[in-house]
Each structure stands twice: as C-alpha cells, then as structure tokens.
Amino acid sequence: MVTIHSERLPKEERVSSKKTIDKLFNGGKSHSMSAFPLRVVYMLMTEDGPQRLPKTQLLVSVPKKCFKQAVKRNRVKRQIREAYRRNRRFVADKMEDGKSMVMAFIWLDDKLQSSEIVTRKVVNLLQRIGEKL
C-alpha cells in the first residue's frame, strides 16, 4: 500500500528533544553512513507510551567550523531540509507501524554546493537507509 505524504515538513518531524539527540549520538544503537559532503547518523526507535511518533524525524547540523557566516550555514540547512522533504518517502514508506526513525544530517565540507548535488547526496543516503530496513 502506498501512503501519500504531505509536501510539508511539520514541527513534529523535527528533532527538538535533548533526550532524543543524546540517545542518537551517545546511545550506541545508532548507525552512520556518509556521502561526501554529508554524513547521516540514524537510529530506529519504538513508541514508548501513548504519544504517537512520526515515521521519520530530522535534525540538520552545519558546524560553525565549516562556515563562519550564519548566512551560509542557513543556506546549507535549507538545501538539506528541502531535499529531505521531497525524498523522505524512500525511508518513510518502509517503516513499520509503531516504529520511528530519527536521522541527523551533518555537513562535512567547507565549501558551498549546488542544490542538485545536495539533493543527489541526500537521495543516495535515504535510499541506502531504506535498503537496510
């Protein structure tokens, strides 16, 4: 069965909980892969209690070490979010009920890239994650 995703990226699909971020980076159950200039760290989670988690959640990080100017960091974050928003179906369609995936995209390069390259790399990573599910 094919599910239709809205074209939005609502707040529920963004990681904002410090506990979730700590679990993702320090929990030991997360996995990582990279497609330069991006690296993704992801972890499967199960629902704990009555709250309903979205199928996928996203965190985007562009270190200040890569770009000193906030304008450039914000541009890269916007490119990554847009590429993810358009292509999240590669992972979301393969998720089982009661499970959720938390992903953190981390920028590695100190040069700006075109939106096509960023989109291609995000799709590559999402497809690889989808194959592992």
Of 3, 7, 6, 125, the residue nearest 60 (C-alpha): 125
- The C-alpha atoms of residue 3 and residue 6 are separated, in whole angstroms, by 10
pLDDT along the chain (133 residues), means of 10: 63 88 88 93 78 84 95 96 92 83 94 96 94 87
Question: What's the pLDDT at 51?
Answer: 67
Question: ∠ at Cα 38 (96, 71), nearest 5°?
Answer: 115
- The C-alpha atoms of residue 47 and residue 54 are separated, in whole angstroms, by 10
Collapse the DSSP code of 124 into the 3-class scheme (helix H, G, I; strand E, B; otherwise coil) and give the result.
helix
- The C-alpha atoms of residue 62 and residue 77 are separated, in whole angstroms, by 7
